[in-house]
Amino acid sequence: MKLIFATKNKNKLAEVQDLLAGTGIEILGIEGEFNPEENGETFEENALIKAREAAKIMNMPAIADDSGLVVGALGGRPGVYSSRYEQTDEKRISKLLDELKNTKAEERSARFVCSVVIVSEKGEILFSTTQTCEGQIAFSPTGYEGFGYDPIFYLPEKNATMAELTMEEKNKLSHRSKAFKKAMEWLLRS
């Protein structure tokens, strides 16, 4: 079973390939020009835009995720704008910490959200799910694993940030792993 994974984010591809290893489901990275306009209002809409664009280019069924960080004290921002919030991971993290500099520990709750959509080669929606991972925004970055906002996403039950977890540990609890596991169950059933 082969699917195109509609992403330019190599970290996402690595996480998902690790997650699906041994299942018989093969996720291929997208080749060549891939610049979908992510102008949806929800994670699900953006995942669908990416999946449809990839299916069209490659003429194959495609899977896409759209994900981001939803911060309670910021009314849900950066949300669907998580990757456009700033230019680099470093700048995104320092801007977010700056926005929260007067926010107390008990008001720093946040969640990672991930929508996964699978489309046929014609772009019809076959499967869709949205999953979350709850945590808090730390006061400073810690850890070097993962990507994006992982160094400031603190998981109380692990007493660690997401960037202090190995990929295997992250894949047991992350928003993306939960969503891809649901997709995998669906793929294996159909």
Of the candidates 50, 46, 95, 39, which has an alpha carbon nearest to the alpha carbon of residue 71? Answer: 95
Cα torsion angle, 59, 22, 180, 169, sign: negative
> Does the footprint of ligand ITT cover residue 147 (CB under 6 A)?
yes
Which tokens belong to 84? 């456009």
> Does the footprint of ligand ITT cover residue 172 (CB under 6 A)?
no
> Does the footprint of ligand ITT cover residue 83 (CB under 6 A)?
yes
* Residue in this structure with the two tokens 């102008």, named with its chain if needed: 39
Out of 44, 137, 149, 187, point to the residue binding ligand ITT (CB under 6 A): 149
For residue 177, CA distances in Å to 36, 38, 55, 151, 167 come to: 23, 22, 22, 18, 10
Out of 3, 63, 67, 154, point to the residue binding ligand ITT (CB under 6 A): 67
Dist CA 110 CA 154 (whole Å):
9
* Residue in this structure with the two tokens 């169950």, named with its chain if needed: 185
Catalytic residue status for 65 = no
Out of 62, 71, 82, 154, point to the residue binding ligand ITT (CB under 6 A): 82
Of the candidates 108, 66, 104, which has an alpha carbon nearest to the alpha carbon of residue 83? Answer: 66
> Does the footprint of ligand ITT cover residue 135 (CB under 6 A)?
no
Which tokens belong to 16? 């998902």
* Least separation in angstroms between CB 185 and ligand ITT: 20
Nearer to ligand ITT, 53 or 184 (CB): 53
Out of 9, 42, 103, 120, point to the residue binding ligand ITT (CB under 6 A): 9
> Does the footprint of ligand ITT cover residue 111 (CB under 6 A)?
no
* Least separation in angstroms between CB 177 and ligand ITT: 9
Q: Are 49 and 40 in contact (CB under 8 A)?
A: yes
Alpha helices in 39-103 (DSSP H): 43-58, 89-99
Annotated catalytic residue, options 18, 65, 66, 150: 66
> Does the footprint of ligand ITT cover residue 52 (CB under 6 A)?
no
- Which parts of this chain interact with ligand ITT (CB under 6 A)? 7-9, 12, 38, 66-69, 82-83, 92, 112, 146-150, 162, 174, 176
Residues labelled as active-site residues: 66
